[in-house]
Structure 1
Amino acid sequence: MANFKLRALKICTYNFKSLPFAIASTPVPSPDPVKSLFSPTPVSFVDVKTDLGRTRCYWVREELKNEKPPLVLLHGWVAGTGCFYKNVADMASDRAILMIDLPGFAQSERPEFPEEPEDEWVKSLKDVIAVEVPGETTFWIGGHSFGGYLAARLAIEADFSTEGVILLDAWGIKESEMTFEERVEKRLNWWQKILLKSYQGLGLKFGGMDILRALPMSLGPKILKAARKDLAATYGNEFLDYIFEINSAKPASGEIAFSNLNAGFGYAKNPMGPRMLEKHENLPKNIHFLYGGKSWVENSVGYKIIKELEAADPNFKCSVTVVENASHHLQCTHPEEVNSVVNKILNSKI
């Protein structure tokens, strides 16, 4: 076992750029994977140019965007619009849905980010929404995981007006009660600590999907499905094909930029919860949290935030919903329950 772990350590600290079969470049992506995932629900796409390059957006029921406030959805880390493939038909079925591939991820361009990327992401998303939902049109915004973090950040902006915010197992909301070093000591075993120190000592920045990028396109999806049969059973082979395709692209600029916001083990360096409370005057009056009952994201922070928001202003309409037995990817593992809750929120029945 010790020899195996030492071999794994050598493999993981290898510079994957030197591998001869690594992908050399990122072509302009095709919208076909998302269209196929969403089928039979029709979807259209548009590329919007921002300071972070070409950002791909997808519309479902775009023809309804002037009839009811559309729902804008942001995906999470190393994901993309396709992660909502079990939701688009029934969620917000009476209104348009705009889904944005975050710059640096999925089928958007991989730009070069500054060392502190959060403001750049926010500005880019503002620019995209201004183009796609122009004028006086109101809208809701929601996000899953890292997308929830960005949705919350947008909502506290003084110049960003939205009907409400729906946070699906949002990452980076809760303040950590321990330092990073304390969490390392508590949660990692001896060989994981060695691996971490090796990364740090070499000064390497890994995006998180570097091993996927080192796999040849002809074998990567097969290896992923064989290694993670649990994911294939939950999400389906076609979705794993999509995940491999969007995370094979280089460079890993979005992942590396995210690492500059990340304090490790599910915490943000600058958590969003305190900022939401500090700038509650800027928030819309509808703030709603959804959590997976078996997720690693703690739902206690949602209850704490809505309690303090409602104490600060009784006009807030807040809720916390825990979907029993759902994982962090609750919109995929329990789509019927999630879609139903979101529809009740949108129709002001929660």
Structure 2
Amino acid sequence: MYRGLSPTNYALIIINNMIQSYYLIQSRCSNWLRWRPTSAQELDRAENKVLSFLKNPFRSYHVDIGRVGGLDNNKIWTLEMTPKVQPLRRGQNANQMAANTAANAPPLVMIHGFASAVGLWTLNLDSLLETNRKIYAFDILGFGKSSRPVLSAGDACELDLVDSIERWRSRVGLDQKFVLLGHSFGAYLAAAYALQHPERVSHLILADPWGMPSQQMNQTLNQHRIQLPMWARMVSKIVQLFTPLAGLRAAGPWGPGLVQKLRPDIKRKFEQMAGEGNAECFLEYIYHCNAQPVPSGEMAFKSMATGFGWAKNPMLDRMPELHPAINVTFIYGSKSWVDRQPGFQTKYILGDRVNVEVIQGSGHHVYADDAEEFNRLVADVCHAEDRRLNAPAVDSDESDEERVQTLTD
């Protein structure tokens, strides 16, 4: 059955078979036997509460992307929104209307950050739908409600995730160029995707991106690590043995309370939409997203990062390879822990096709800290892409007088 497979692929198949067996056993255990108070059903309920705050209709569904890491039938959880058809205004003919429809506007694809999922875009989706384009958001493989196969290690892990995005795009039927927006770890994957599939991306929006600093910056950090006291180096070594959120799952029944105590800021961010006292569901959602068994998304992140959370393959070193037809917008929070200097360095390297925006008073979660300003910046990018991609081609042999006449007709 497995003849001809490499030892690595064979090992991945064995591991994933064990994972499937674990899921089966867990599903047959009663709730009181579970150490962690979570399940796929609890995650469904939590997400439904979070998405109930959206004002516009949406579709959510799984997209089967096939075999990944030795596991068949992997699925990516997807949220899709389509703008309402606008009625013709007086004096506007059908051809003029067609020029402004969602069919001609590049769709917006949104990739969440580490330990997140599609539900945390709720402060943005309704507003961005007003840009009159289709919107897609999905849970990265290994996170949220997407499948959780064990991915390859090291550089191959990034390739697996990029390939999963491309397969998702193909299965969804997204054949036109799109604006690709990623936050934090999702921004890293968005940039990696744009490098591998430049023909698919019209504009890259990197919101407080993780993994940008160059190798030279990493070396500076490593030199600093050597100067750390012995106890700090020992703690660092111990932490590296576990996935980033292992403590949340180890906390068992105390996990939900732990999220409440450690991230009260998340609740405050979403109270502006849900109302005071009604945003607890967002913390429940975060807990259930990250307390699910098999944290393969965390394992993937860990294999792509150094012990201190820096990317092993920094994106700044690779940005000069980005196709010249792709424009880039960085959106940083002025109070974020993410260094925005790499964004300005990218602008210095690539020139005017790069724009760097800083939202004053915002932290790492720029999409939620000042959702109105964030949505405005993203909408500006989308409208600029509409004009750029749908602008009529200008014949270089055409005279200035003919060109003016054409534009005024």
| Aligned residue number for residue 257 of structure 2 | 222
Which runs of structure 1 show a deviation greater than 6 angstroms over 4 or more consecutive aligned residues?
none
User: Per-residue CA shift, 1:151-178, capped at 9, x if unaligned?
Assistant: 1111112564211110100111121524
Which structure has the greater CA radius of gyration?
2
Corresponding residue of 1:161 = 200
CA contact (8 A) 1:212 1:220 kept: yes
Distance in 2 (CA, whole Å) between partners of 1:273 and 1:247 is 29
The one-letter amino acid of 1:54's match is K
Q: Please, which moves more after superposition, 226-235 or 160-169?
A: 226-235
Tell me how far 1:291 sits from its aligned partner. Answer: 0.4
Please, which of 113, 119, 137 is the counterpart of residue 82 of structure 1?
Answer: 119
Aligned residues: 317
Percentage identity across aligned positions?
Answer: 28
Residue 332 of structure 1: aligned partner: 368
Residue aligning to 1:9: none
Q: Separation in 2 of the partners of 1:211 and 1:174? A: 27
Change (3 A) 1:208 1:62: farther
Q: Which of 8, 16, 35 lines up with 1:22 in the alignment?
A: 35
Offset, 1:132: 1.7
Q: Please provide the CA RMSD for this pair.
A: 2.6
**Structure 1: distance between partners of 2:37 and 2:255:** 15
CA–CA distance in 2 between the matches of 1:134 and 1:347?
19
Decide which of 146, 156, 172 is 1:132's aligned counterpart.
Answer: 172
The residue number in structure 2 matching 1:33 is 46
Task: Provide the C-alpha distance between the structure 1 equivalents of 2:236 and 2:243, rounded to a whole number of angstroms.
Answer: 14
- Letter in structure 2 aligned against 1:80: A
Give the CA deviation at 1:133. 3.8
Unmatched runs of 5 consecutive residues or more in structure 1: 1-19, 311-315
Structure 1 residue matching 2:163: 3-state secondary structure? helix
1:71 is aligned, of 97, 108, 117, to: 108
How far has the Cα of 1:138 moved from its partner?
2.3
Tell me if structure 2 keeps the 8 A contact 1:103–1:109.
yes
How far is the alpha carbon of 1:230 from its aligned partner? 3.6
Change in CA separation of 1:76 and 1:33 when aligned onto 2, cut-off 3 Å? same
Report Cα offsets for 1:54-85 as digits up to 9, x if no partner: 11111122777534211000011111112212
Q: What secondary structure, in the 3-state scheme, does the structure 1 residue paired with 2:109 have? A: strand
Could you tell me which residue of structure 2 aligns to residue 12 of structure 1?
none
Deviation at 1:261, TM superposition (A): 0.7
- TM-score when normalising by structure 1: 0.82
Q: Distance in 2 between matches of 1:209 and 1:112?
A: 16
Deviations 1:231-255 (A, max 9, x none): 4333442211100000010111110
Paired residue type of 1:246:
C
* Aligned equivalent of 2:148: 110
Query: What SS class does the counterpart of residue 240 from structure 1 fall into?
Result: helix
Superimposed CA distance per residue, residues 326-347 of structure 1 (whole angstroms, 9 cap, x where no aligned partner): 1011111111110011111111
Are the aligned partners of 1:29 and 1:107 in contact in 2 as well (CA < 8 Å)?
A: no
Decide whether aligned partners of structure 1 residues 341 and 120 sit closer, same or farther in structure 2, where only a CA change above 3 A counts.
same
**Alignment match of 2:282 (pick from 203, 228, 239):** 239
Give the drift of 1:22.
3.2
Structure with the bigger percentage of helix = 2
State how far apart, in whole Å, the 1-side matches of 2:37 and 2:224 are: 37
Unaligned runs of 5+ in 2: 1-32, 69-73, 85-100, 271-278, 388-409
Give, in whole Å, the separation in 1 of the partners of 2:224 and 2:179. 36
Residue by residue over 1:160-206, the C-alpha shift from the partner in whole angstroms, topping out at 9 and shown as x without a partner, is: 421111010011112152435324346x6654332223356xxx3x2
Amino acid at match of 1:300: Q
1:267 match: secondary structure:
coil
1:261-300 correspondence runs (5 A): 261-277=304-320, 279-280=321-322, 282-300=323-341
2:162 aligned with 1:122: yes
Q: State the alpha-carbon separation in 2 of the partners of residues 32 and 26 from structure 1.
A: 10
2:79 matched to which residue of 1?
A: 58
What is the aligned partner in structure 2 of residue 48 from structure 1?
63
SS at match of 1:171: coil
Kindly indicate whether the alpha-carbon contact (under 8 Å) linking 2:208 and 2:333 is maintained by their aligned counterparts in 1. yes
Relative to the length of structure 2, the TM-score reads: 0.71
Amino acid in structure 2 at the alignment position of 1:148: A
Change in CA separation of 1:62 and 1:45 when aligned onto 2, cut-off 3 Å: farther
Contact kept in structure 2, 1:115 and 1:257, CA below 8 Å: yes
Q: Distance in 2 between matches of 1:190 and 1:294?
A: 31
Q: CA deviation at 1:300?
A: 1.4
Q: Secondary structure at the match of 1:341?
A: helix
Structure 1 residue 286: deviation in Å? Answer: 1.7
